[in-house]
Amino acid sequence: MTGTPLLAVEALVKHFRLGHGRTVKAVNGIAFQIERGEALAVVGESGSGKTTVGRCVLRLIEPTSGAISFRGEDILAMTAEQFRARRRHLQLVFQEPYDSLNPRMRIGRILNEPLMLAGRGAPAVRVSRVHDLLDMVGLGRSFIDLYPHQLSGGEQQRVGIARAIATDPDLVVLDEPTSALDVSVRAEILDLLVDLQARLGFAYLFISHDLTAVRRVCQRVAVMYLGRIVETARTDDIFERPLHPYSRALLSSVLYPDPTREQERFLLTGEIPSPIDLPPGCSLYARCPWARPACDQSVPPLEALLPDRDVACFRAREENGIGTR
């Protein structure tokens, strides 16, 4: 809130050209900010564009338009070379624990790579740093000589996390870090992420389709649908009272491991439309139980319905009983 935010994304757009004049409109005007040490979740299902946002922030994909500033610098204006020097401050944890590790490299070498590329001191210094990293993620030093296929999924993901924090980044983008893991391991990894953040003070951009997974880690949530943010809120607030119909549907679709838990199911009908043919108005129009004809006329803007609560829905105010002010 005070000073420049660590990451500021404005009017981010990414369209993929498919040929035959068709474009996949993956991201259609996103804006958000992350302060130092904060954890923001971007939640959405397939086609929401959340993965693309993450890749754009890391410049692994070049945005079609928009502005991204990191540590006060406009990173889209830099050349690839200039940005490469800054990559050590911006890291990524992948969704697939095994595929994100080079199958022919031992763990020690995998962890050494970012240190070497960042020019982190003599080999001895790096070895000791690798040991520290393994300790930090709860793996023993014996892991240095192992190959990725010799590790379990949870252990592989810990290595992925260790690699991401190796260069003391300011921002770690987490791309569905627990989706591919077994349930019994998920909570541990989430706890580890919380721990590391408390100790080392970096910020998180947590991308996920699972609202419950982000609950442990993030203070704020942005819900995406078909390339736009439809609601932003503090995590606790959105769990307590989701205002946007899509957020409500997402939350009510969670199957808690408790058969006695009564949940009012707020159901959306139909399928998620294709990001190639976006409707002219609100993208949820065809599936939304609150829809009125007016909703199909124009795209609802993201506006603050309550303090710290932005919602993009024409009907939200009325359906949630919030007075106009």
Partner 1 sequence: MTVRALHAAAAEARNLVRFSRGRPGFLFGLGVVALTIFLAILGPRLAPYGPEEALPGVANLPPNHEHWMGTDISGMDVFSRVIAAPRIDLTIALVSTAAAFAGGVVLGVISGFFAGGHGIWGRLSSTIVRGADIFQAFPVFIFALALVGFRGPSIQNVIVALAFLNIPFFLRLTRGAVLHMRERPFVEAARCMGGSGLRIAFVHVMPNALTPALANLSPTIGFSILLASALSFVGAGVPIPTPEWGSMIAIGAPNMMTGQWWTALFPGLALGLTILGYALVGDGFRYYLDPVNRR
Partner 2 sequence: MSGAKADGCVDALLEVRDLRVEYARSTGPVRVLDGVDLTITPGESLGVVGESGVGKTVLVRAILGLLDPPWRVVSGTVTYRGQNLLAQPEPTLRQLRGKDIALTTHEPRKHLNPVATIGEQMARVVQAHRQLSRTDARARAIELLRLVGIPDPELRLLAYPHELSGGMCQRVVIAMALAHSPTLLMGDEPTAGLDVTISLQILNLMRDLVRDFHSSLLLVSRDLGVVAHYCQRVAVMYAGQIVEVAAVPTFFAGAIHPYSRRLLRAAVAATSDRRGTLSSVGSRAERGGASCPYAPRCPLCIERCTREAPWLDRVAPAHWVRCFRHAEIAAGLEAP
Contact 161, 153 (CB under 8 A): no
Q: Which is nearer to partner 1, 110 or 233 (CB)?
A: 110
> Does 96 interact with partner 1 (rule: CB under 8 A)?
yes
Rounded Cα distance, 220 and 21, in Å: 38
Partner from partner 1, partner 2, none binding residue 293, C-beta < 5-8 Å depending on class: none
Residues 6+ apart with CB under 8 A from 188: 154
User: Beta strands 22-34 and 7-19: pairing type?
Assistant: antiparallel
By CB under 8 A, tell whether 152 contacts partner 1.
no
Q: Residues 259 to 288: which contact partner 2 by CB under 8 A?
A: 259-260, 265, 267-268, 270-272
- Closest contact distance (angstroms) between CB of 34 and partner 1 is 18
The sign of the dihedral angle between the CA atoms of 177, 218, 191, 92 is positive
The reply to whether 91 sits near partner 1 by the rule CB under 8 A is yes
Q: Which of 224, 250, 211, 241 is CA-nearest to residue 32?
A: 224
Total residues binding partner 2 (CB under 8 A): 43
Helix (H) / strand (E) element for 306: namely strand 303-306
Residues in contact with partner 1, counted by CB under 8 A, come to a total of 25
- What is the CA angle 242-320-45, rounded to 5? 30
Residues 6+ apart with CB under 8 A from 256: 263
Instruction: Identify which range of 2-10, 63-71, 98-106, 297-305 contacts partner 1 by CB under 8 A.
Output: 98-106
**Does 235 help bind partner 2 (rule: CB under 8 A)?**
yes
Minimal distance, residue 256 CB to partner 1, in Å:
31
- From start to end of 5-132, where are the E strands? 7-19, 22-34, 39-43, 65-70, 73-74, 90-93
Using CB under 8 A as the binding rule, whether residue 60 contacts partner 1 is answered as yes
Q: CB-wise, 81 or 271, nearer to partner 2?
A: 271
Nearest approach, Cβ of 60 to partner 1 (angstroms)?
A: 6
Q: Which of 77, 117, 187, 267 binds partner 1 (CB under 8 A)?
A: 117
Q: Please, which residue, 232 or 235, has the CB nearer to partner 2?
A: 235
Q: How are the residues of the chain apportioned to helix, strand and coil, as percentages rounded to the nearest 5? A: 35, 25, 40
Q: Could you list the residues that contact partner 2 (CB under 8 A)? A: 45-46, 138, 152-155, 178, 182-188, 190-191, 194, 209-210, 212-213, 215-216, 235-236, 239, 249-250, 253-260, 265, 267-268, 270-272
